[in-house]
Structure 1
């Protein structure tokens, strides 16, 4: 049975996304993003599910940089609504301090401020929930998913405590090779040539071919000061041969161009408390 890697512990949002996508294979959590990539590189895992961008905090830069470093491919995606919940073993008015990932604490700052709670940063949301379950102190609470509450047998003291309800994270499936049938979305990375107008010339072919860009992100090109990589996502009809022609027009205006993957545009899902929906065919 093939293993699927993710960052965190069971109940983390990455674990939830991986469970939606791969309900049967063994899911294996790792402490950090690079360890996840290494697990795929050495064959400990066939694929990995990683957060790629969030509607509130933007791109997950570490994952972008590692995707370029390891030259892996995107094979699919899914978007998950992120609902943060206050979990604990006692009652709401007993909680004095909360444990969670830094970003989750930031996204719940209004609730934390209103209740005058002390924030304690943990490596991920589910790890905070696991700690609170072991601590067995009614004054301790965790900000985590409903699934974490179910796994660690914690009470849901207050649901959906995030300051902004429109909170979604896009997760991608990565692997060593790209082989997806009936794909309708492509991701690329390129470094524009060092001459006036080169970035414009790189983007023009997409507009001329009526291909919709859904994301553009710049990152420093490590080892080349003041040079940048540009990550692009664009949608296209299934089996669109125009993509090959467009990329051939872009390439002369770049120092480097690499296709990161062609895959199916993924759905948006909402977590449920007990059990997860059946896996979605993306490979």
Structure 2
């Protein structure tokens, strides 16, 4: 049986590159897989819940722009999903266009994350160009051949796949640009060096978050990330997504989670996993 891996398509996206890397991980374990492109990140995750696919590979955090909020928000809703693997992919953006030079460009398309990761370059090099967000970095590539005043920010791999000219590369605002992806499924988490969880607090009171954080601090459990997201119920109510550098099966973490339940309204544990650096 071949597992289907959902990812943000179409072909040529960074999500596809991460999905291909995870496919190689599965192949090393003797598991065959094939890729299943989806129109949005949320659709990629919901493809597992609807059993269209068995796995989804989605971006969760970028070193320049920060968290991919749609991933976090959807994961809170689909709390039966478990993280199987984290993959860190280097991101190097290129400006693709048939234009003869930057002066000819009037419009630039790309995914909002890619546009944000190239914001300084765009403001400096194309201050008068209209910037238009798309669902993915490759969605707008179809427009390039029709109009030489149009450009798209995508990967050089996308340029090769679609036989498109690269006008400038790289254009991301920092050379050490990378994105962390999660491979998720309905299977139990395999365990590993890092764990992710999310929780809500019963009331927005002074010290309520500090009590939660102290639970980890007292046990010398390091938090590598904490981020708030609105509950979408009421203004001023938040969820908190947290990554810890430990396995949830460890006795110290089990004790911390047991105490954590006393101070949280809802606690969701997305699993423990290892982090795999990926060569682009």
TM-score of Structure 1 vs Structure 2, range by shorter chain: 0.7 to 0.9
Summarize the Cα distance change of 1:90–1:270 in structure 2 as closer, same or farther, 3 Å threshold.
Answer: farther
Q: Deviations over 1:59-85 (max 9, x none)?
A: 111111110111122221112221111
Query: TM-score when scaled to structure 2?
Result: 0.85
Alignment of 1:1-283 (within 5 A): 1-23=2-24, 25-71=33-79, 72-89=81-98, 91-92=100-101, 95-97=104-106, 98-112=108-122, 113-115=124-126, 118-121=129-132, 122-132=134-144, 135=145, 137-181=147-191, 183-194=192-203, 195-223=205-233, 225-236=235-246, 240-264=250-274, 266-271=275-280
Partners in 2 of 1:211 and 1:50 — Cα distance?
A: 26
1:277 corresponds in structure 2 to none
Q: Tell me, yes or no, if the aligned pair for 2:6 and 2:36 is still in contact at 8 Å.
A: yes
What displacement does 1:89 show?
A: 4.2
Which consecutive residues of structure 1, in runs of 5 or more, have no partner in the other structure? Answer: 272-283
Summarize the Cα distance change of 1:145–1:198 in structure 2 as closer, same or farther, 3 Å threshold.
Answer: same
Which consecutive residues of structure 2, in runs of 5 or more, have no partner in the other structure? Answer: 25-31
Query: TM-score when scaled to structure 1?
Result: 0.84
Q: Tell me, yes or no, if the aligned pair for 1:100 and 1:129 is still in contact at 8 Å.
A: no
Summarize the Cα distance change of 1:93–1:120 in structure 2 as closer, same or farther, 3 Å threshold.
Answer: closer
What displacement does 1:138 show?
A: 4.4
Partners in 2 of 1:92 and 1:8 — Cα distance?
A: 28
Summarize the Cα distance change of 1:261–1:238 in structure 2 as closer, same or farther, 3 Å threshold.
Answer: closer
Runs of 4+ in 1 over 6 A off after TM superposition: none
What displacement does 1:12 show?
A: 0.9
What displacement does 1:155 show?
A: 2.4
| CA-atom RMSD in angstroms | 2.4
2:28 corresponds in structure 1 to none
Moved more, 164-173 or 10-19: 164-173
What displacement does 1:50 show?
A: 0.8
